[in-house]
Structures are given as C-alpha cells and as structure tokens.
Amino acid sequence: MIRSHRIQLKPRPKHVAYFKQACGTARYVWNWGLAKSKEEGFTSGFTLGKVWTEERPEWTHSVCRDIQNKSLQNLDRAYKSFFKKIMGYPKFKRRGEHDSFYIINQKLQLAGKLVRVPKLGWVKMTQELRYSGKIMSATVSREADRWFISISVEVPDHYESGEEIIGVDLGINHAVVLSTGEMFDAPRPLLNNLQLLKRRSKQLSRKVKGSNNREKAKLTLARLHRKIKNQRKDFLHRMTSKLVSRAKTIVIEDLDVKGMKFQRSILDIGFYEFRRQLEYKCQDLVIADRYFPSSQLCNRCGARKKMPLSERVYKCSCGYHNDRDVNAALNLSTLKTGESNAWGDETLVPSVNQESTNLLEV
C-alpha cells in the first residue's frame, strides 16, 4: 500500500524563488512538448525526451533534470488517457494554476522536520513525516501563497475497520445518511462563502492587468478558494475515516452526478470525492447499480412505489414508514447480506467489490 503525507513547508525567500523557477520549468516543458506534438505528431514521452535533450535551453540546467522528465512522462500519460477516451485532449498550462514539480525518491532526504530538495538544500517543514517505510516520490505544490510537499511512502497493507455493514445514502438535505439512522450535514463552504467569493471575483476583474493591486486581489481570491477547498476536504476525510473505522463493508450507490439537479449543492458536498476516498480507504466497498431503486423500495416488504423529491417520508401500505433517506440506506445495506431477494428481480442489484490500492492522502 502506498500512502501520501502532505506537509506544509516553511521556505525562505531563496527557497520560494527556486520553487517558482522549478514550477515554471515544469510548465515550460509540458507546453513545449504539447506544442511539439501538435506540430510534428509526437505523442510518445520517450521520443519527446530525446528531442528535448537536443533542444533544451541553457537556463533549464539550473533546475533538476527529473522535473523536466516527469513533465514529459505526465504528457505521455495524458495522451494515453485521451486515446483511451478517459480524458480530453491535453491543454496548455498557465502560470499560477496548479503549480507543482516532482522530486525523485533517490534525491530526497529527510531529517526530522527538514527535507532536502535537489539543487536547493534543506527546507523546513511544519511537521515530521508520519509514515515509516520506503519513500517512493515527492511533489512540491503551491496553494495561493503557501507551499506544500506531498511525500508518498510504501507501507505494509493494513486496515482498521469494524465488523458492521453500513449502507450510505448521499442526499441534499443531509449530506450523509446511514442505515443506522444517523444523519450528518456537510459544512457547505461554497454556499457560506458564495457572496464573498462573488465580491472578491468582481474586485479582481476591475483591477488593471499587470498592476500590483491586481496581484494582491488575485492572492486574496486564491486564499478564499483554498479555504473553501480545505473545509470541504476536512469534512470528507473525517466522515470517510469514521465510516471505515466502524464498518468492514460499506455500500453506496453509483450516482450519476453529472445528470443530477442541484449541481452547485452536489459539488459543494463533494459526492465524487466522497466515493473516491472510500475506494482507497475501505477494505470492502460495494457499489450498487446506478438504477437500483433504493428510495422506492420498502425495506420491510419489498414493495415498490414512485417517490417524488418533495416526499421526504416513505410510507408503505404494509404500515412501514421511515425517513426517505434512511429507508434508502437500509435497502443499500441489504445488498451485501443477500436480503434483497424480497423484491425479486436480482438484475436490479448487481454490486462491485473493490479493494484499496490507491494513495491515502490525509
């Protein structure tokens, strides 16, 4: 298992200057490779690497070569994803957006709260690396005016979970509803900061391009975006970690997020990120079919009826009644135990078991 620990850095001005230069070099190599691919039809990272060795500018020698190689490898992976129709066509990168650079494991050294960056020296970290094991790689990135390093470590496979089976229903009124009847509300950071976000965006648009005031306004807006993202990620990590510690098996729905209404509310909760975190944290994750009618089935007798969104309490002719979302979560929890035969058609309830193999970013 590979786990990643993201730590904030405390760089000096000379460190920040090198970080910016390294990010700029990584961005330049990506854009150079993308332009070369469009002009001459190159899509292989190996081919682009040989051409880059011959054409690389002199100023790129002041930055570690691994940073440049990684940009070409990322471009090669982007092209492969495009050909497999997993992602769209690669785009040119802009300065100040997703700035980051890569450090190979052989050139990375750690000593307590210090990390040694190639061609730079020792840089302070706010905390020590929490995992012990073989260091695989590291990535330095920027968010607004803060710098972070994400260190990937190979550790033995280990899961800490209970024996309970929990069905999880994601909703709008309550972000997470469990089959135990518990309901959890999301902080909704975007909704709470939406007016301030609009005001900051308007202030930025009114500044003169290239002026210092525009750079200040841009930084202020970036800090607000960082705050919103951190609040959302904090809730999702706490929620998913709590579920995994309680249950060995978790059952969720395969939601069509793009086709759902209330897009802003859904994005504010982070349905996709919730599922992504469960996939690498949970030992046994069951994903119900997208068309499984969890909200329309009675958990007691298996009867099915249509439920408009305005109807929040499920009432069945057999006398059973319960909260709509709790009833859906209970129906999801029965998929693993096999009690779903009450409503007959098993083709409605296929499930997929997935084991954790991804990075654990905390």
pLDDT (tens, 9 = 90+) of the chain, 362 residues, equals 788 899 999 999 999 999 999 999 999 999 999 999 988 887 788 888 888 988 899 999 989 889 999 999 999 999 999 999 888 999 999 988 889 999 988 888 999 999 999 999 999 999 999 988 889 999 999 998 899 999 999 887 765 556 678 889 887 778 898 988 888 988 889 999 999 999 999 999 999 998 999 999 999 999 999 999 999 999 999 999 889 888 888 888 887 766 666 677 778 888 888 888 888 888 788 888 888 888 888 888 888 888 777 788 888 888 888 888 888 888 888 876 555 434 434 333 333 333 322 323 32
Q: Are 360 and 1 in contact (CB under 8 A)?
A: yes
CA distance linking residue 131 with residue 128, whole number of Å? 9
Nearest 5°: phi and psi at 147?
-115, 140
CA distance linking residue 297 with residue 330, whole number of Å? 10
- Starting at the earlier edge strand, list the strands of the sheet with 176-178: 183-184, 176-178, 164-170, 247-253, 284-288, 351-354
Nearest CA to 71 out of 99, 97, 96 is that of: 99
Q: Are 25 and 68 in contact (CB under 8 A)?
A: yes
Q: Are 3 and 153 in contact (CB under 8 A)?
A: yes
Predicted local confidence at residue 206, as pLDDT: 95
CA distance linking residue 313 with residue 333, whole number of Å? 19
Model confidence, pTM: 0.73
Which residue is associated with the tokens 């319960």? Answer: 322
Cα 10 off chain centre by: 24
Q: Are 286 and 179 in contact (CB under 8 A)?
A: no
3-class SS at 234? helix
Predicted local confidence at residue 161, as pLDDT: 56
CA distance linking residue 8 with residue 140, whole number of Å? 10
